[in-house]
Amino acid sequence: MKLNALTAHEILDLIKDKQTTPQAVLDEVQQHIKQSDKDVHAYVRLAKNSNISDVSVDQNAIPIPIGIKDNICIKGEETTCCSKLLTGFKPPYNATVIEKLKASGAMFVGHTNMDEFAFGSSTENSFYGVTHNPWNLECVPGGSSGGSAAAVAANEAIWAIGSDTGGSIRQPASFCGVVGLKPTYGRVSRYGLIAFASSLDQIGPLTKDVTDSALLLNILAGHDSKDSTSVDQPVPDYTKALTKDVKNLKIGVPKEYFVEGMDAEVKASVMQSIEVLKQCGAQFVDVSLPHTEYAVATYYIIATAEASSNLARFDSVQYGLRQNPAQKRKTTLVDMYEESRSVGFGEEAKRRIMLGTYSLSSGYYDAYYLKGLKVRTLIKNDFDKAFESVDAIITPTSPTTAFKIGARAKNPLDMYLSDIYTISANLSGIPGISIPCGFSKEGLPIGLQILAKPFDEEMLFRIAYTFEQNTEWHKKKVGF
Amino acid sequence: MKYETVIGLEVHLQLSTNTKIFCGCANKFGEAPNTLTCPVCLGLPGSLPVVNKKVLEYGIKIGSALNCKINSFVKFDRKNYFYPDCPKDYQISQFDFPIAYDGFVTIPMDDNGEKKITIHRAHLEEDAGKLIHDAQANCSLVDYNRTGTPLVEIVSDPDLRSPQEAYDYLQVLKLTLQYLNVSDCDMEKGSLRCDANISIREQGDTKLGTKTELKNMNSFKAVKVALEYEENRQRQVVEAGDRVVQETRLWDDAKNMTLVMRSKEEAHDYRYFPEPDLVPFIQDEKIIEEIRQSIPELPAQKLERVIKEYQISEYDAKIIIQDACLAGFFENCTKYYKDTKKICNWMNGALLQEINSRKTTITDITLKPEDFSLLIKKVEEGLISNLAGKDVLKFMLDTGKSADVLIEEKGLAQVSDDGALKEIIQQVISENEKVVQQIKEGKDSAAGFLVGQAMKKSKGKANPKKVGELIRQILKGDS
């Protein structure tokens, strides 16, 4: 098998046995990108210099080629959130996760495609054009971390980093047949992640298997004094949680998640997966998350409100695109703001800024934003209560498999529903992982979502690893 | 018709912490533009704020000194508005949980009484950058050095009833804040800024009239004058049968008038909401108590105490407590010299004159309380004249040498030796026979002239008291 098609732990074994070198792996990944990214378009910018790492490759180094979502700041590398407005913005600093990757020896392949400012579930809202699903180029890769998921699936990166605000790591992982983890809110520093919704955003790994996910989280996790929302809690060695043992674990299945609109093939795959875990000794019980039906509405109130404020700084004063009004008589400051933001932001960004501005406005705040915060607490309480009796919860990652490019682009509400199973984890701050659990008749991957208590990523890895070791889904490779 | 004026003040105070409120940049004034910045205070994408603990401490100190309740629940909010001096286009501030609320300060009244002015709230926030409009280059420039400077905004209730009361309130507030050593409280440098809300109503009315907000006053005096102008303007509007319009007005120092800046319709909707980048937390009550205990004696307490303890006049005491360091200097002097009244005279007279003319402060001079006390003692004991004493003080400030050394060096010691003085007096008497005659005829006041002449002859070194005594003695002996 080609080096670029291997997992990180396989590559590390080869390097250790001196059967290959980090440079050889990087070369092969870059070589492959040249051929395949014309079709996939996972990357928006390839790194000129891949050595984000200063450290010489020593015994403990993990020199793995990695793709970084275009909303994570790398010093001196253009970082745009795939927005026209941020064209030319080169951060003068590294995100904390980049510093950590640097220290571990990782090699930077390039910035991956995404929905503009992470607004979307299909990567169609990118200024740089859509990414194609490696399993079927006519389909979307999911989003917003679609470029990262596609890069890993198409062997254009060994690892990738995404961000997840309402499912933006897990849903594309599900669509592209890879492993995607959203850690607990506060587990990974957000410093240097260009914010979409600050109280929901979390950086996480996209990998080819569960072992790699644990390896990468080991690097990313930890308290950061630069991020007040990161939690000062010890980081365990997540690879120690990779045990093939789910005996006597109690896993909940929320009845509210298996409803109308769910793809029959998705449902069947999830049910089959439950059987696999049952055979491994896990016990399944029904749980109820009664406020599930309000999750999407709550999410779009809170996320857009925060986004409207977070995106205010893109005013073209200090950096990014500056567009002066065409008509000469218009020369005021407000005209510059309006023109730059009108030209620079895409449709979905404008829609969300307007939604968020509206729900924060005087006279509407109580009815929308404040109520949203209250319902968010209720949703969190649902999970707290459920986790009193179960160790984990299993759901589908998305109600459908990857849809055709353009199929939902015209209907934002349809698009929003594609995150219906992932949003609640962000609202309640709990960790969630999506792992491959089957394929549709058309050959598109299906994802299984596992949710656990805050800071219990080890539980996710334990269940996911057991499932992976007892199935072959993760071994099925795309033809790239 | 009789009108009553209703005023409330908003004071913005820059805190003198070493670093800014949400990042590690130095909090300094007067550096080259955009040299005190980092991704956080520049609001660059992906950067995040972290609260400076010192700012919280200062906030709690200020709240406590203003007799406020302290919110142990520490929470920040975003105030959204677009302006180039605000790099995130929102300001991190405190909305529903100000660090301090519901306090008061006491201002003096004409009738020797006092009045309590309620402090509605005091909240923490970040300052904005500075815009420089370059007309020649046809552009505006932004200096982000000031961005992220910690501010506390102190909002009074509309308890003030005249521009004078507003002025007095500012004086009391400033003095209290200076005692806390949390800000240099310099209005000219912009470290203390004041906006005023003013309305008028018919005497006896309980409902508030329509207010205007005044901005751009650069001194306490400007606040007073602007309020007087606005009070008058509103009265004229009402008397002409019109209504006061709710608006923000700018004080124009050159034109001596207020001008419309924006109307209520143009007022911002700031869309406040909780700052998601800063997790609210409960401040330990023990820490709050520790901070409260660290507050020094405040001006009102000090005034009362020094009057009682040192038996000095209220007039003198008020001058001394204008500056905590001055008061400290005074108290130190009393350890070396017992006549507190004399110390006051010398401090509030000669010393303050010297300090003011040198444009310095009590903290910046090298004079030691023990040396200053010794000087006063020398004068009061007659070793040197009052005049020579003032000269010695100047030399002391110039050279840092002690009074003893300077008196010796300059040969300023008074001549009190009877023999030497009598010689001079005899000369004066023989040169001024007419005056001597007048004195003998009973015009005792003329003796002063002779003393003066004797002083002149001695080049100021004669002890005038002694000279007077000797003249009378000699003339009495003659008669």
Residue with tokens 């507030």: B173
Chain A contact for B42, CB < 8 A? yes
And the tokens for B105? 């300060």
Tell me the pTM.
0.90
Q: For position A56, what pLDDT does the model report?
A: 53
Number of folded domains that form chain A: 1
- Is position A173 within any domain? yes
Q: For position B175, what pLDDT does the model report?
A: 95
Q: Which residues of B touch A91 (CB under 8 A)?
A: 39, 44-46
Q: For position A51, what pLDDT does the model report?
A: 66
Binned at pLDDT 50, 70 and 90, residue B452 comes out as confident
Compute chain A's Rg from CA coordinates. 21
With pLDDT > 90 as the criterion, what percentage of chain A qualifies?
Answer: 88
B41, amino acid identity: C
In Å, how far is B62's CA from the nearest CA of chain A?
25
Q: For position A341, what pLDDT does the model report?
A: 96
Range of the domain at A423: 3-246+392-475
Count Cβ atoms below 10 Å from residue A187 Cβ, excluding itself.
25
pLDDT by residue (tens digit) across A129-152? 999 999 999 999 999 999 999 999
User: Which one of A302, A315, A369 would you mutate to disrupt binding with B, by most B Cβ within 10 Å of its Cβ?
Assistant: A315
Handedness of CA A200, A204, A210, A211 (dihedral sign): negative
> Reading across the β-sheet that carries B150-156, which strands appear in turn?
B69-70, B100-108, B114-126, B150-156, B3-14, B192-202, B212-217, B247-252, B257-263
Could you give the CA distance from residue A82 to residue A113 in angstroms, rounded to a whole number?
7
- Is position A327 within any domain? no
Please identify which of the residues A144, A163, A308, A424 carries the catalytic annotation: A144
Q: What is the ipTM of this complex?
A: 0.95
Give the A-side interface with B, CB within 8 Å: 71-73, 79, 81, 86, 89, 91-93, 95, 190-195, 197-199, 225-229, 305-306, 308-309, 312-315, 317-319, 333-334, 337, 357, 360-362, 365, 369
The mean pLDDT value of chain A amounts to 94
pLDDT by residue (tens digit) across B153-187? 999 999 999 999 999 999 999 999 999 999 989 88
Q: Which residues of A touch B132 (CB under 8 A)?
A: none
- Is position A386 within any domain? no
CATH number at residue A172: 3.90.1300.10
pLDDT by residue (tens digit) across A178-189? 999 999 999 999
Binned at pLDDT 50, 70 and 90, residue A54 comes out as very low
Domains and CATH numbers, chain B: 3-289 (no CATH), 299-410 (no CATH), 418-478 (1.10.10.410)
A69 is catalytic: yes
- Is position A357 within any domain? no
Q: In this complex, do A369 and B273 lie within 8 Å of one another by their Cβ atoms?
A: yes
Asked if the model's pLDDT at residue B359 lies above 80, the reply is yes
- For A56-83, b where at least 16 C-beta lie within 10 A, e where not — what string? eeeeebbbbbbbbbbbbbbbebebbbbb
With pLDDT > 90 as the criterion, what percentage of chain B qualifies?
Answer: 70
Could you give the CA distance from residue A55 to residue A52 in angstroms, rounded to a whole number?
9
- Is position A337 within any domain? no
- Is position A145 within any domain? yes
Which among A79, A228, A318 has the least Cβ separation from residue B279? A228
Q: For position B479, what pLDDT does the model report?
A: 47
Before A144, cis peptide (omega within 30)? yes
User: Which one of A191, A316, A341, A369 would you mutate to disrupt binding with B, by most B Cβ within 10 Å of its Cβ?
Assistant: A191
- Is position A262 within any domain? no
- Cα A478 off chain centre by: 20
A404 is catalytic: no
- Is position A150 within any domain? yes
Asked if the model's pLDDT at residue B419 lies above 70, the reply is yes
From residue B415, give the alpha-carbon distance in Å to each of B373, B386, B466.
22, 14, 9
Chain A contact for B73, CB < 8 A? no
Q: For position B335, what pLDDT does the model report?
A: 94
Q: In this complex, do B45 and A86 lie within 8 Å of one another by their Cβ atoms?
A: yes
What would the mean pLDDT of A163-169 be, rounded to a whole number? 98
Asked if the model's pLDDT at residue B441 lies above 60, the reply is yes
Could you give the CA distance from residue B353 to residue B347 in angstroms, rounded to a whole number?
9
Asked if the model's pLDDT at residue A52 lies above 70, the reply is no
pLDDT by residue (tens digit) across A17-41? 999 999 999 999 999 999 999 999 9
Q: For position A329, what pLDDT does the model report?
A: 63
Q: In this complex, do B50 and A318 lie within 8 Å of one another by their Cβ atoms?
A: no
Which among B50, B90, B278 has the least Cβ separation from residue A312? B90
